[in-house]
């Protein structure tokens, strides 16, 4: 069980080293990540939100590697933020995580592409945008894994600077 967590952390480290060669602004800030226990009740309490599912790919092994994607990564896009965590549970359970990227300080960064990798016991899971999105400066995604004892994720948010017009 711990073996898979070590492999996932190693893969995340490789991915991070790969992205560290790019120029990543030091003023990037990501809010604390609260946990969504149940997407249905979350949506009931936030009735004004519309949910957008992310595209999903999967690979089978002793654990399922799932990838969720949204948007198109451009040639000049850079990593705005990365969120990752690994959890082991004593019994199978449904897991739900709130992922938030918020542009802080009005730097003009616009989201263009999001990629979320998960490692879990089943291929059952989803990722939904509940606010913000591609072409905007913030996004709120609910990430779910169903009936799993292990749930590891690595979320990467890419974007680009936009030109700001000055008015006098």
Write down the residue that tokens 């894994």 correspond to.
Answer: 145
Q: What pLDDT sits at residue 46?
A: 73
CB 99 within 8 A of CB 140: yes
What does the mean pLDDT of the chain come to?
Answer: 76
Domain count, the chain: 1
Instruction: Tell me if 60 sits within 8 A of 114, measured CB to CB.
Output: no
93 in a structural domain: yes
CA 87 to chain CA centroid, Å, is 15
Across 11-39, average pLDDT: 48
Question: Residue 54 falls within a domain, yes or no?
Answer: yes
User: 66-93, pLDDT tens digit by residue?
Assistant: 999 999 998 889 999 999 999 999 999 9
Q: Which residue has the higher pLDDT, 58 or 147?
A: 147
3-state secondary structure of 134: coil
Residue 74: inside a domain: yes
Residues 103-152: tens digit of each pLDDT: 655 556 889 999 999 999 998 999 999 999 999 988 999 999 999 999 99
* 149 falls within a domain: yes
27 inside domain:
no
Task: For residue 95, tell me if it sits in a domain.
Answer: yes
Full domain range(s) for residue 79: 49-161
> How far apart are the C-alpha atoms of 119 and 5, rounded to whole Å?
9
Ranges assigned E (strand) in the chain = 52-53, 55-60, 64-71, 78-102, 109-120, 125-132, 138-161
| Least confident span in 33-42, 95-104, 115-124 | 33-42
- 67 part of a folded domain: yes
pTM of the model: 0.63
* Nearest to 133, CA basis, from 19, 68, 51: 51
Cα distance between residue 5 and residue 126, in whole Å: 21
Q: How far is CA 166 from CA 59, 86, 103, 136, 163, in A?
A: 48, 44, 20, 20, 10
- Evaluate whether residue 31 is within a structural domain: no
d(CA 153, CA 98): 12
């Amino acid at each position: 069980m711990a073996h898979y967590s070590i492999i996932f952390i190693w893969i995340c480290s490789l991915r991070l080293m790969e992205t560290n060669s790019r120029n990543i602004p030091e003023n990037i800030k990501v809010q604390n990540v609260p946990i969504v226990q149940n997407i249905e009740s979350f949506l009931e309490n936030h009735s004004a939100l519309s949910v957008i599912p992310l595209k999903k790919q999967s690979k089978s092994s002793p654990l399922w590697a799932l990838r969720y994607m949204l948007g198109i990564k451009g040639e000049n896009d850079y990593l705005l933020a990365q969120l990752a965590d690994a959890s082991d549970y004593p019994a199978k359970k449904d897991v739900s995580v709130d992922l938030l990227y918020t542009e802080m300080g009005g730097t003009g960064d616009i989201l263009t592409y999001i990629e979320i990798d998960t490692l879990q016991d089943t291929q059952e899971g989803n990722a939904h945008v509940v606010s913000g999105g591609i072409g905007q400066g913030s996004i709120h995604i609910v990430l779910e894994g169903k009936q799993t004892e292990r749930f590891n994720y690595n979320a990467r948010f890419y974007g680009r600077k936009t030109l700001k017009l000055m008015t006098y």
